[in-house]
Amino acid sequence: MAKPLVAFYWCASCGGCEESVVDLAEDLLKVVDAVEFRLFPVAMDFKYSDVEALPDKALAVSFINGAIRTEEQEHIAKLLRQKSQLIVAYGACAHLGGIPGLANVANRKEVFETAYKNTASTVNPKGIYPQTVTETEYGKLTLPEIYDTVQTLDQTIDVDYYLPGCAPPPDLIMNAINAILEGKLPPKGSVLTSEKALCETCERNKTKPDKLAIKDIKRISEVKADPEKCFLAEGIICMGPATRGGCGERCINANMPCRGCFGPTKEVKDMGARFLSGLASIIDVDDEAEMEKIAQSVIDPIGLFYMYSLPSSIINRKQGV
């Protein structure tokens, strides 16, 4: 029997999702045995024209990581949708927008100014920014357009499944691949991990007092966190209660609070607003002035509450820019 054809593509991402494939270790050999790649830019030399040449739906599955922020990414995502039976949004950036999605607190102009001019390490006296078309003596050079607003994969194309995480952990990747190979897939639209928030499996949940009440909000960088105790109970912001579990508590085990890379549970449309609501609710202060003071101690609310999910949230970008 012919092996199923697979694409593994990257959009606006860091390359960590590619690393996660390597993290499969010995299991990677099983995967390579079971499937045949048709696009895998980081590892194999296929051309876009190879994919274009395939009949529609010829690919069994395309794993697409990264957010969508360029013309090229949008084009290839749409091409892969056309050529694939299944699309899996692979990793937090494709799923929710991810870290690149934080660019939505600015626009393209501001991003260019920062990246190509204002940073201390940049030398650009002529103030040259990327252009979609540049005339040179050798002819016309083109670059894909970079968009003002970073999008999630499912804001660009129809997505069948989501493999969450920054990056997805090996066990969830193997579960997903096995489910696809065996045709034992959950309902379309499922996020291929736990339906419950991280606290369910977090060891530290046991140390949480029944009545969670905090009088101040601390940043993890300011305190020495007790490696046994629930972060939230100590006043350290931990997105665990608002974030799907299944990650293996990798951050928690490294004594770092959860920052939400697995995204919200299924009913939640705005992860940041939902967590913010819960966090505010456990502030045990009735004095308005005091409350305002505590609220003000939340530094960088977008970076905290929407670290991975800004493009997927109800208001997905900064307004007025």
Partner 1 sequence: MRVLTCNCHGLIKFPELDLGPDVKIEQYDNLCKLKLDIGADETVVIAGCSPNLLEGIFPNANAEFVNLLEHITLVNHSPEKAEQLIVAAVAKMQNTPPVKTKVFNIKSKNALVIGGGIAGIEVATQLSKNGLPVVLIEKTPFLGGTVSKLDRLYPEGTPYSHTLMPLINKLQTSGNVTQFFNTEITDVTGRVGDYKIKLKAKPRGVVECINCANCIDVCPVEVNDAGKKRKAIYYIPTFPDMYAIDFDTCTKCGECVKVCPGKIDLEQKAQESDIDSGAIVVATGLNWYDVSKVEEYGYARLEGVMKTLEFERAVASGALYPKKVAIVYCAGSRDSKHLPYCSKICCLLGLKEAKLVKDRFPDAEVYVIAMDMRSYGTYEYLYNTLRDKGVSFIKGKPSEIHRRNGILVVKTEDLFTNELLEVEVDTVVLNSGFVADTITFDKFNIKLNGDFPVLFENAGLGNYELPRGIFTAGAATFPGSVSETLIDARKASYSALSLLRQDKIETRIPQAVVDEDLCSVCRMCIGTCPYNAISVVDDKIKINEELCMGCGICAITCPSYASQLEGWNHSGLYEQIRALVKEGDVLAIMCRWSAYNATEQAAHDKLKYPENVKIIRVPCTGAVDPSHVMLALRNGARGVLIGGCYPDACHYARGNFRAKAREQILRLNLEALGMRKDRVRLEWIGKDEAQKFADIVYEMNK
* Closest CB to partner 1 among residues 20, 152: 152
Residue pair 221/192 in contact by the 8 Å Cβ criterion = no
CB of residue 284 to partner 1, shortest distance in Å:
7
187 lines the binding site for partner 1 (CB under 8 A)? no
Residue pair 176/6 in contact by the 8 Å Cβ criterion = no
225 lines the binding site for partner 1 (CB under 8 A)? no
* Closest CB to partner 1 among residues 39, 233: 233
291 lines the binding site for partner 1 (CB under 8 A)? yes
Question: How many CB atoms sit inside 10 A of residue 27's CB?
Answer: 16
Which of 74, 160, 234, 270 is in the footprint of partner 1 by CB under 8 A?
270
| Closest by Cα among 76, 67, 69, 91 to 17 | 91
281 lines the binding site for partner 1 (CB under 8 A)? yes
State both tokens at 62.
């395309």
What separation in angstroms does the CA of 315 have from each of 105, 151, 268, 279, 301? 11, 12, 14, 20, 14
Q: Is the dihedral of CA 119, 120, 123, 125 positive or negative?
A: positive
CB of residue 103 to partner 1, shortest distance in Å:
14
- Which backbone phi and psi does 316 adopt, to 5 degrees? -95, 0
Which of 52, 56, 195, 203 is in the footprint of partner 1 by CB under 8 A?
195
Burial class for 198, CB neighbours closer than 10 Å (0-12, 13-18, 19+): buried
Binding range to partner 1, per CB under 8 A, among 27-35, 159-167, 170-178, 278-286: 278-286
* Closest CB to partner 1 among residues 41, 278: 278
* Closest CB to partner 1 among residues 19, 203: 203
199 lines the binding site for partner 1 (CB under 8 A)? yes
| DSSP assigned state of 101 | G
* Closest CB to partner 1 among residues 94, 102: 102
Q: Using alpha carbons only, what angle is made at residue 221 by residues 310 and 306, rounded to the nearest 5 degrees? A: 5
Binding interface with partner 1 (CB under 8 A): 105, 195-200, 205, 208, 210-213, 232, 240-242, 245, 264-270, 272-286, 288, 291-292, 294-296, 298, 300-302, 305, 313-315, 317-321
